[in-house]
Amino acid sequence: MTVLRKREETMRKFTLASVIMATTALTTPAFADDHLKIVDEPLELTIHLHWPRQQGYNENFPVEKAAREMTGIYLKDATAGRNSTDSMEAMNLLIAQGNMPDIVGGHRIRQPVNQYGPEGAFLPLNDLVAEHAPHIQAFWDAHPELQQAITAYDGNYYYIPYLPDGMFGRAWYVRQDWLDKLGLEQPQNVDELHDVLVAFRDGDPNGNGRKDEVPFFAREWEEVIRLVTLWDARSTGSDTFHDFYVTDDGKVVHPYAQDGYRDAMSHIAEWYAEGLIDAEIFTRGSSARDYLLSENLGGMTHDWFASTSGYNAALKDKVEGFDFKPFLPPASVSGVRMEEHRRTPLKPDGWAISYMNEHPVETIKYFDFWFTEEGRNLSNFGVEGETWDMIDGEPIFKPEVLNSDKPVNTQMYEVGAQIYRGYWMDYRYEWQWTDEDAREGIKLYEANDLLVDQFLGVSFNEEEQSVYDKYWPSLYTYMLERQQAWILGSGDIEADWDSYIQTLDKMGYSQVIEVMNSAYQRQYDE
């Protein structure tokens, strides 16, 4: 790669640019309505922005036009790999081509920027932000653990992330009308939960005279693994399924190699055998919730607040008495109520400055613009007066946005808001289109101490990365294969456990754990 050669050259340019910028700043007139202007003359910066909903940056986004007006900076699309929907593939292509745009952003850039940043492909942002980006710096000062989490192995950080807002994502949901019909209360612990699921299976709560109810179902089969939390085990340490987690004594481990997991999984296999869990849990897929609720078959699930509460309105004329209600996580066998899922405070998405950028100071000021009040509103709600108005100091979506048939998030993507630039989400954006049932559920969850700390990931050095890449993919595949087999009843986890653990060791589990922990200690033990 040519990036190492170019680095010194880049650093010279960088110093020069700082000097120029410092001079310009002194001569910029301080007009009140120009307070967000970064440059006097329009400055074009090229951008690679590859993300799930769009492979490229649309220069006609109303949000882009407004940002130009406010800052003087124009983004020009230079996205690599536009014919692939795979952002990692696009990134590899970009790195391989060597000729990089000024800004590199989009989906899942954290790992590549932390790998190639220290090699010289991206600029370290620590000093640039400290000197020129007061709003981003203020965010880090208030959330030092998040800056720590994105820091690469050389101690620098290389991207400004998409930072979600809000705490709760998923919740437990039960057919309250089925409970009422059967004379049952919401289950408060594992035993009561088991009783409710049995009653759903046997009591014909949908009243059709057939034993066709599916007591527990999920759109994502991984939610069945999450039931291990009822027996004090873990299914993941983050908002990503099957992730590592950090133990109480500060060690990174994988949940599927713990004794607690073995015991919990044996209970889940029993529940599956008893017909309490959807027999088609691994195959039904993303339409499970839609199908099982609208056919009046599904009794309980664990899923996102906003979209799951939406079924009450959607099915009120179709399923008589339909009432799908969020309820508190039942207490585990040791009495712990845990909601394992939460919104991550930090995404692997965002944007970085490439080594070829000749305007790093202007670029970091531009990144900082999105953390000002005006920029944050623009990135969250779109253009003021077009999609929202400021009412009593609050950005409020226009009624036509809230009442449109098109989901609000889709409307935002179309105008260039809520896209995967480095920005700080404002939860008020989502709260406005969260219905009353979901709001009540969220308040209920907030009123109880349900959340656990999240594992925010580590940044490997080259050697650690190679160990991880060598062993982890096949370990992961093997663990998931065994997991499904045990639930489906092929094999008995208690009987198989010792040989399973031995196989994990042969496959390099302890090496992976070693590099996870060396990286974790370097990153978080300060």
Give residues in contact with Ca ion (CB under 5 A). 204, 206, 208, 210, 212
Task: Indicate the residue among 298 and 382 with the shorter CB distance to Ca ion.
Answer: 298
Task: Indicate the residue among 212 and 492 with the shorter CB distance to Ca ion.
Answer: 212
Task: Indicate the residue among 94 and 214 with the shorter CB distance to Ca ion.
Answer: 214
Task: Indicate the residue among 196 and 346 with the shorter CB distance to Ca ion.
Answer: 196
Number of H helices, E strands in the chain: 22, 14
CA dist list (Å): 370 to 64, 354, 366? 11, 19, 7
Residue 268 beta carbon to Ca ion: minimum distance, rounded to whole angstroms = 24
Residue 320 beta carbon to Ca ion: minimum distance, rounded to whole angstroms = 14
Judge contact between 191 and 365, C-beta under 8 A. no
Angle between helix 436-446 and 305-315 (nearest 10): 140
Q: Which DSSP string do the residues of 297-364 spell out, in sequence order?
A: -EEEEEEEHHHHHHHHHHHTTTSTT--EEEEPPPB-TTS---B-----S--S-EEEEBTT-S-HHHHH
Task: Indicate the residue among 211 and 316 with the shorter CB distance to Ca ion.
Answer: 211
Q: How many CB atoms lie within 10 A of CB 181?
A: 16
Judge contact between 25 and 323, C-beta under 8 A. no
Residue 217 beta carbon to Ca ion: minimum distance, rounded to whole angstroms = 15
Residue 152 beta carbon to Ca ion: minimum distance, rounded to whole angstroms = 56
Residue 322 beta carbon to Ca ion: minimum distance, rounded to whole angstroms = 15
**CA atoms of 310 and 305, how far apart (whole Å):** 9
Task: Indicate the residue among 214 and 487 with the shorter CB distance to Ca ion.
Answer: 214
Strands 298-304 and 350-353, sheet pairing: unpaired
Residue 211 beta carbon to Ca ion: minimum distance, rounded to whole angstroms = 6
Q: Calculate the CA 313 to chain-centre distance.
A: 27
Q: Which residues contact 175 (CB under 8 A, 6 or more apart)?
A: 200, 205, 298, 299, 300, 322, 323, 324, 325
To 10 degrees, the CA torsion angle through 50, 165, 417, 158? -40
Task: Indicate the residue among 202 and 462 with the shorter CB distance to Ca ion.
Answer: 202
Residue 297 beta carbon to Ca ion: minimum distance, rounded to whole angstroms = 8
**CA atoms of 185 and 194, how far apart (whole Å):** 12
Task: Indicate the residue among 295 and 435 with the shorter CB distance to Ca ion.
Answer: 295
Residue 326 beta carbon to Ca ion: minimum distance, rounded to whole angstroms = 24
Task: Indicate the residue among 52 and 203 with the shorter CB distance to Ca ion.
Answer: 203
CA dist list (Å): 57 to 47, 85, 426, 441? 7, 14, 22, 37
**CA atoms of 148 and 125, how far apart (whole Å):** 13
The strand pairing partners of 57, in sequence order, are: none
Residue 340: what residue type? E
Residue 203 beta carbon to Ca ion: minimum distance, rounded to whole angstroms = 9
The strand pairing partners of 331, in sequence order, are: 189
By residue count, the chain amounts to 526
Judge contact between 56 and 71, C-beta under 8 A. no
Residue 210 beta carbon to Ca ion: minimum distance, rounded to whole angstroms = 5
Residue 200 beta carbon to Ca ion: minimum distance, rounded to whole angstroms = 9
CA dist list (Å): 190 to 128, 193, 247, 337? 52, 5, 23, 10
Reported as type and span, the H/E element at residue 502 is helix 493-506
Residue 213 beta carbon to Ca ion: minimum distance, rounded to whole angstroms = 5
Cα angle 447, 448, 454 (rounded to 5 degrees) comes to 115
**CA atoms of 276 and 271, how far apart (whole Å):** 5
Task: Indicate the residue among 29 and 209 with the shorter CB distance to Ca ion.
Answer: 209
Query: Which residue is listed with tokens 């899942």?
Result: 108
Task: Indicate the residue among 204 and 426 with the shorter CB distance to Ca ion.
Answer: 204
Task: Indicate the residue among 210 and 406 with the shorter CB distance to Ca ion.
Answer: 210
Reduce the DSSP state of residue 396 to 3 states and report it: strand
